[in-house]
Amino acid sequence: MKNRIIHAVAGSFILISLLLSIYVNQNWLWFTAFVGANLLQSSFTKWCLMGTILGKLGVKD
């Protein structure tokens, strides 16, 4: 369950930031890059900040 939430949040952040970069300001692409970098980092370290946050909120694996 936790992985599905993480993927949904990451995908939503990316799509929202892309829309904001088109309609508001191109600097929102930095947020897109930040989300992508965190996804890449979590694939190597097997640690994800969103997973830690969800665990503290009581979401089970």
pLDDT digits (tens, 9 = 90+) for 6-28: 999 999 999 999 999 999 999 99
pLDDT digits (tens, 9 = 90+) for 22-57: 999 999 999 999 999 999 999 999 999 999 999 999
- d(CA 5, CA 17) in angstroms, rounded, equals 18
The answer to whether 3 and 42 are in contact (CB under 8 A) is no
Establish if 32 belongs to a structural domain. yes
Establish if 61 belongs to a structural domain. no
Establish if 28 belongs to a structural domain. yes
Neighbours of 45 (CB within 10 A): 8
Nearest to 10 by CA among 55, 48, 56: 48
Give the number of domains in the chain.
Answer: 1
Task: Supply the range of the domain harboring residue 11.
Answer: 2-55
Query: What is the pLDDT, as a whole number, of residue 45?
Result: 96
- Band (pLDDT 50/70/90 cuts) for residue 1 is confident
Establish if 49 belongs to a structural domain. yes
